[in-house]
Amino acid sequence: GAVVSQHPSRVICKSGTSVKIECRSLDFQATTMFWYRQFPKQSLMLMATSNEGSKATYEQGVEKDKFLINHASLTLSTLTVTSAHPEDSSFYICSATPYNEQFFGPGTRLTVL
Amino acid sequence: QKEVEQNSGPLSVPEGAIASLNCTYSDRGSQSFFWYRQYSGKSPELIMFIYSNGDKEDGRFTAQLNKASQYVSLLIRDSQPSDSATYLCAVNRDTGFQKLVFGTGTRLLVSP
């Protein structure tokens, strides 16, 4: 199957700093990638749809100025959590659909102190 | 009412038994239905998807869909301890994998 990677796998930062998470499709081109967030014991919640070469589409309730998404190439999408706060601590997962299946990255555990 | 509802569990079954996982959804317009397995701290991996009413079998797994009742289930035959994980149900209004809506998942524990 297709491989999606994420970097870093785990990050701890101080409140107020910005954190960038990378999502890469390793063996296919992805015009669309998705960003999810998962809090402990809760469901994956779609945050935004990342479109190569255009602006991301954010789900209702997700602050686009806080969660900046850049899909600069067909293999890379980045999510930047700006001015992170403890309530942003979560498991962030990206995914892509090269064909008839959605493949998930391994996730990034963000802890904001 | 949540869009996709699952019993959080845990559902405990002995090794070799059949595990039955259930999911209901609220949007009658949903067209495609998915079951993902998620181990603790890991990302989800697809087990099966189903579009049409009835049963779909893949190895030890069987997905069952009843659109009239807005109900989808996953049966795991000959359960193994390695099947212990959280099983996520997801739905989509379209026949594809875009913009999935996930349930909170059911934790399955298979005891040796």
Q: What is the pLDDT of residues A18-53, one digit of tens each?
A: 999 999 999 988 888 999 999 988 889 999 998 888
In this structure, how many other beta carbons lie within 10 angstroms of the beta carbon of residue A23?
28
pLDDT, residue A72, reads 84
pLDDT tens for B64-75 read: 999 999 999 999
Do residue B97 and residue A104 have CB atoms under 8 angstroms apart? no
Contact with chain A for residue B104, Cβ under 8 A: yes
Cβ pair A41:B103 closer than 8 A: no
| Cβ contact, residue pair B43, A100, below 8 Å | no
The answer, for A98 touching chain B at a CB cutoff of 8 Å, is no
Q: How much is the average pLDDT of B98-109?
A: 91
Summarised one tens digit per residue, pLDDT across range B10-59 is 999 999 999 999 999 999 989 899 999 999 888 899 999 999 999 999 99
Which residues touch B110 (CB under 8 Å, ≥6 apart)?
B12, B13, B14, B15, B17, B19, B79, B80, B81, B82, B83, B84
What pLDDT sits at residue A59?
A: 92
Q: Give me the pLDDT at residue A101, please.
A: 76
Give B74-102 pLDDT, tens digit per residue. 999 999 999 999 999 999 877 666 788 99
Whole-number pLDDT of residue A54? 85
For chain B, say whether A100 makes contact (Cβ under 8 Å): yes
